[in-house]
Structure 1
Amino acid sequence: MSEGTNCTDINIIDKLAVTIQSGISIPTFILGLPLNVLALSIFCRFWSRQTKTSVYMINLALADILLLLSLPLKLYYSTKEAPGLLCAFIQSLYFVNTYGSIFIIVCITIDRYICIRYPFEGRANQSPKWAILVCCFIWAVTWFCSSPMYMFQEKDELLCFHNMSKQAWNIPYIVSVEVFGFLIPLSVIVFCSAQNIWILLNHKNGAKKKAEDRGSLLVIIINLVVFLVCFTPVHLAICLQCLVRQHVIVDCNLKQKISLFIQVSMMVANLNCCLDTIFYYFAVREFREKAHLKKIIELSATCLARGTLTALF
């Protein structure tokens, strides 16, 4: 606290944050977990017809499930002291799946951009092998980048997400998180979304194709808005908290507001786990249409074969 500043006890802020977090996290967990488990099970049923997009969807659902499972631990150990190693694991689990989700969303956006910009090349190149390699790379990188959680964590009994050491808030580390974890993904998503919107708005197609374009346009806009709403506040909060830890911001009341802001914004980011189901709905619809088309082709081939045999005999 700065000298001569009459500040409210920080414990009051933490108690308020816990109340707000509970109000957001509990519905997110109750709604998000079954929806993501259902989506994952449906995608696995279509394993024999996997495409690049479906591989990304499976990994996004898995990341969302793991993040949702970390929420009860996060809520509990934000108010109860735990060993430093346990806190490091909970924090690592939380952040790995947060940034894993961000990078997979970027991959889905790029894939959609290629399919819309170059429809013939994009749809012809739907082999899942490349997507599997990309997802393995994302998981490996995010887990590797979470290793500072174990190095920077205080060793004693502590409250998780509250007692990161000063090293964790050094400027190079936070700049890396902001640039590679948010600004670059945001730039890619904004660029691809803007290009997709422009292309779809300028399509000259039949009524049926225009209806499909409107559906795609809606998904693109929702995806962009959801990404901005969910992930912009938490990265702004991380930046402000870094300034607090570097003693650039010293006013006590402002520090308390930032403390509340970062805790609440982390919970807002978790809403993405529920909103990702918009992607799942359209992906499952594509699977259903492809499966239906495949049945029609198989039935037509059977009828054609029978007709040929009848003609011969």
Structure 2
Amino acid sequence: MNDTCQPLGGEYYLRIFIITYSVVLLVLGLLLNGLALWVFCCRMPQWTETRVYMTSLAVSDFFLLCSLPFMLLSLQDTEDTLRCQISQAIYMVNRYMSISLVMAIAVDRYVAVRHPLRARGLRSPRQALAVCLGLWILVVGSLLVRLYLGQQEGGFCFRSYARHNFGTTTFSLLGFYLPLAVLVFCSLQVVTVLARSPATETGQAEATHKAARMIWANLIVFVVCFLPLHVVLTVQVTISPSSCAARQAFSRALSITSQLSNANCCLDAICYYYMAREFQEASALPASHRSQDSQNLSLSKSALPV
């Protein structure tokens, strides 16, 4: 296998686009997630399950964005270096932590809506924190294994031509397709419950419809941001391209779809405002006027009398 592939003709323009796109995404994402963290940590009167999950998600997105400049610098390394290993490890941990937390929020919402009686014993801020810590341990542990396998196979970093073998890529595919399946199942179940819920008042019916639309929007954003990248990874690991032209084509496809997945950091922060009535109140009103009788951040509780 020839490891001296020459760059494609349009790679310079693609690099300029990626740098410009990343700068815009970095500035916008840091502002939005910084605002979200300020609201979650300083403005809300009490901790709830979904507040714990959303705070963890904002932290994960924030650190992913912070790693972008270093990750872009490491893309010029065609072999593993300490710089690329550290920056891309931070980047990948927070990408799959973000995916895992979206799944956790969906499961929490599913339990609250489908099993409201059992939810009282299954859901609490402390349990949500334990779930978040468990996910961090799982994601970091899987990355350490992936780093070890990558070194055995000849490369861990994005531009290393030896990477994307079955052993290392399996962790990325499982880290996406399993949460995707759980998210689709939980979202469909919650939407079904919302559709069948009797609405005794006009306001309640409107809140139910809004919650259902928000669940669909969250699912669509998740799929649009993350599915293209993992489809490309799936095809790549399946056919194992060996020619220089094929490897260059997959490298370009991965670059584009990775940038699309990064947009999820901004879209998550935008969704906070529309998902949680408490977030809107806390970000819009002064502290002295905030309601102490705060509502749960979960869409299920804002839409249904659970």
TM-score (norm 1): 0.79
Residue in 1 that maps onto 2:287: none
User: Paired residue for 1:204, among 198, 203, 207?
Assistant: 198
Matched residue, 2:291? 292
Deviation at 1:124, TM superposition (A): 7.5
Equivalent in the alignment of 2:178:
184
Query: Is 2:237 the partner of 1:242?
Result: yes
Change (3 A) 1:135 1:64: same
Give the Å deviation of 1:34.
0.8
Cα deviation code 1:8-40 (max 9, x no counterpart): 943535434322322432221111111101101
Cα distance between partner residues in 2 of 1:239 and 1:159 = 17
Which position in structure 2 is the counterpart of 1:274? 266
Output the CA distance in 2 between the equivalents of 1:48 and 1:192: 29
How much has 1:73 moved relative to structure 2?
Answer: 1.1
Q: Distance in 1 between matches of 2:12 and 2:219?
A: 33
Q: Tell me the CA shift for residue 221 of structure 1.
A: 0.7
Q: Residues 17 and 243 from structure 1, CA distance in 2 versus in 1: closer, same or farther, beyond 3 angstroms?
A: farther
Tell whether the 8 Å contact from 1:81 to 1:159 is kept in structure 2 after alignment: no
Which residue does the alignment assign to 1:144? Answer: 141
The answer for the alignment partner of 2:297 in structure 1 is none
Task: Check 1:283–1:225 CA distance in 2 against 1; reply closer, same or farther (3 A cut).
Answer: closer
CA deviation after TM superposition for structure 1 residue 121, in Å: 4.7
Q: Of the two, which has the highest radius of gyration?
A: 1
Structure 1: tracts of 5 or more residues without a match: 3-7, 296-313
Q: CA RMSD in A?
A: 3.0
Code of the residue aligned with 1:232 in structure 2: it is L
Quote the offset at 1:253 in angstroms.
Answer: 3.8
Cα pair 1:113 1:192 within 8 Å, conserved: yes
Residue 65 of structure 2 is matched in structure 1 by 68
C-alpha separation in 1, matches of 2:276 and 2:215: 16
**Structure 1 residues 84-135: Cα deviation after superposition (integer angstroms, max 9, x where no partner):** 1121111100000000000000010111122222345546865211111111
Equivalent residue number for residue 115 of structure 1:
112
The one-character-per-residue Cα deviations of 1:251-299 (angstroms, maximum 9, x if unpaired) are 554433221100111110001001102442145523566952529xxxx
CA distance in 1, matches of 2:151, 2:259: 21
* Aligned-pair identity (%): 32
CA contact (8 A) 2:70 2:87 kept: yes
How far apart are the structure 2 equivalents of 1:173 and 1:150? 8
**Distance change in 2, residues 1:112/1:147 (3 Å):** same
Is 280-289 or 98-107 further displaced after alignment? 280-289
Q: Structure 2 CA distance, aligned partners of 1:189 and 1:28?
A: 25
**Mean Cα deviation higher: 13-22 or 182-191:** 13-22
Q: TM-score by structure 2 length?
A: 0.81
Q: Verify the 8 A CA contact 1:200 1:213 in the aligned structure 2.
A: yes
Partners of 2:75 and 2:84 within 8 A in 1? no
| Deviation larger for 86-95 or 197-206 | 197-206
Tell me, which stretches of 5 or more residues in structure 2 are unaligned? 283-289, 295-306
